[in-house]
A and B are shown apart, each in its own frame.
Chain A
């Protein structure tokens, strides 16, 4: 029987120690991309909600897929995840704003408004990514 619960799928969530540096080549911290490291700053999250908010969408998806698997069988989440993966690839270059229309429609986000749409709109942010570096990072050249 498919009684696998949510627990078995939580391994992808960001654990507490995952607040730290991105690890570059050879397992050493990536000073070029993440700057100098300070253990005190990265040991604990700065706000009680920071971790739970980072993982929220991931956990919701996992819970929904888990339910879907238990109700309708393995094919249902597999098919949905395949569609998500396809829709996620429809976007512009990384430094430009993509609308994610297909992905939002699939997830049902086109029929709801939450803080992600009101606060910190990425299209209005003051910092713009450096195009060349972002493309190199995306293509894995860097």
Chain B
């Protein structure tokens, strides 16, 4: 606190990240682990996300479970984020990081497209994301699948938390990425039709949902083609909550009454006080 007080004397405050509390947090964490408790952990998305390029555009898919350690924090969260009218982005990793990152890039892309008066390109979004993630050296835990259709056709990128990117015809990310990639490797063909691509992505996400603990609930799809975006949420409810078949409530009068006795309690008023409410 001493440092902060005198900083305000000499130099004006700057915005952005402030690392003042890092040392305090380290001390607190040491104290807490000494007592045997755990510090609260960030909510991760422990996800399966994937994307595929088909003949006319892109299909992006995601599951909808958000986990907090071993507990499901959100049974139906939305992992396909809007970047621009023709570009959408799926996010895996720390939920807050993916949310904020995609929102910042969406705002920057909007400003950029207003300044150039053109529809934004997927490569621009990719470049902005990778430069930002590299700047923070992987401390921002956001693994993204970025896809969209622009003037040069459909493009699909995968972006890792440290800032490396890959431009591929089919990508998967998240804890269920291996299960989804297995489905892609088996059945992907170049220049698929839209229905085939949707079925392929649905099956890949389902593989992730059923074989990975970190993914679950429903399957969301986003189909992007030139001039049209279909945001299908939910596309497939793979894990519907079951309906109870039996009713375990007893009917009125199930238990027979044998005897009934009424004892009257004599209560006398000892003291009566009135407290006025202050209604002014």
Q: From B5-13, B39-47, B209-217, B252-260, give the one contacting chain A.
A: B5-13
Q: Which interface class (under 10, 10 to 19, 20 to 34, 35 or more) fits A?
A: 35 or more
Any B CB within 8 A of the CB of A81: no
The binding surface of chain A is classed by DSSP as loop
Taking CB atoms, residues of chain A closer than 8 Å to B20 are: 46
Q: B107: nearest residue on chain A (CB-CB)?
A: A113
Q: B9: nearest residue on chain A (CB-CB)?
A: A133
Taking CB atoms, residues of chain A closer than 8 Å to B108 are: 112-114
By the criterion of a CB under 8 Å from any partner CB, how many residues of chain B are at the interface?
32
Taking CB atoms, residues of chain B closer than 8 Å to A46 are: 19-20, 22-23, 26
Any A CB within 8 A of the CB of B75: no
Any A CB within 8 A of the CB of B3: yes
Taking CB atoms, residues of chain A closer than 8 Å to B248 are: none
User: Beyond A111-B115, A113-B107, A127-B8, is A120–B15 a contact (Cβ under 8 Å)?
Assistant: yes
Evaluate contact between A49 and B17: CB separation under 8 angstroms. Answer: yes
Please report the C-alpha to C-alpha distance between residue A94 and residue B13 in the assembled complex, in whole angstroms. 10
Please report the C-alpha to C-alpha distance between residue A112 and residue B105 in the assembled complex, in whole angstroms. 9
A45 to chain B, nearest CB (A): 7
Please report the C-alpha to C-alpha distance between residue A94 and residue B8 in the assembled complex, in whole angstroms. 10
Evaluate contact between B15 and A111: CB separation under 8 angstroms. Answer: no
Binding site for B on A (CB under 8 A): 22, 33-36, 41, 45-50, 52-53, 56, 94, 111-122, 125, 127-130, 133-134, 137
